[in-house]
Structure 1
Amino acid sequence: MRKKQNAGFTLIELMVTVAIIAILATVALPSYQNHVMRANRSAAASFLMEVANMQERYYLDARAYAADMSALGASTPAELSDRYTITTVGNNAATPPSYSVSAVPKGAQSSDSCGTLTLNNKGEKGHASGATRCWD
């Protein structure tokens, strides 16, 4: 008598495999998206610090802060321009003169709990109230 050879997977084995993959994807995808959002926020914070340094160098040369990004000769990097609107405002009429740099999230990044990141001439870092670890 001849034995029948098993040459494949049963439907139950395939369904268990699909279920395991679905569970892993359900857990991994939000974690990945959160990681990407944090990485984008970190890049924006780094660029804000760079713009603040540009403002301080400009102040040393001109004895006034630059009114906007174009006066600094700076522009938002391509990798940030889709996710953030970066602006700087110099207020030279104030005593002492001051500036503020902000990164307003847009697109998918707008769901970030930190919201708008700000940095001023005193080194004060701001973000949405209630959010934590936004500048880490």
Structure 2
Amino acid sequence: MKQRGITLIELMIVIAILGILVSIAYPSYTQYVQRSNRSEGMNELVRIANMQEQFFADSRRYAVDLTELGFPDAVFTTENGLYQIRVSAAAARTFTLTAVGQGVQANDVCATMGINQAGAKTASAQDCWR
């Protein structure tokens, strides 16, 4: 008489293969998510830098904190709460915007990114602004 179905050994082989595939795919997926979340911080940095340039065109100086640009607080938290952005403008002719990762982005290699009045971009690791 012929039996139908799968044996325990066949089931264990399938589970082992799935485990190997998941162990390879999951780290790649988490890195992809962190890279895509990074764009939120970059976009907001560039947007606020543009606001600083408009403020400079109107006032002949850069804003010393974000409240001068119309934000409710001196620290701006991005829409999904992944970055907090601060401005430091020691002189009226220069500024530096810094985005610091929050939550899951705090563990990213690019947890800190920045941009200044000259458009120079900085980050806590290489190739963060790619």
Q: Give the match for residue 132 of structure 1.
A: 126
* Pairwise CA distance, 1:25: 0.8
Equivalent of 2:102 in 87, 97, 106: 106
* Pairwise CA distance, 1:90: 2.7
Name segments (4+ residues, structure 1) moved above 4 Å. none
- Given the two structures, how large is their TM-score scaled by the length of structure 2? 0.87
Counterpart residue type for residue 45 of structure 1:
M
Counterpart residue type for residue 106 of structure 1:
Q
Further displaced range: 65-74 or 15-24: 65-74
Flag the structure with larger Rg: 1
Taking the aligned partners of 1:110 and 1:53, their CA distance within structure 2 comes to 25
Note the residue ranges of structure 2 that are not aligned, 5 or more in a row: none
Identity among equivalent pairs (%): 41
Counterpart residue type for residue 89 of structure 1:
S
Further displaced range: 11-20 or 63-72: 63-72
* Pairwise CA distance, 1:101: 0.4
The answer to whether the aligner puts 1:34 opposite 2:35 as a matched pair is no
Aligned length: 126
- Given the two structures, how large is their TM-score scaled by the length of structure 1? 0.83
SS of 2:84 mapped into structure 1: strand
SS of 2:77 mapped into structure 1: coil
Note the residue ranges of structure 1 that are not aligned, 5 or more in a row: none
Taking the aligned partners of 2:58 and 2:84, their CA distance within structure 1 comes to 27
1:32-57 CA-to-partner distances (Å, cap 9, x unmatched) read 10011111112211210111001001
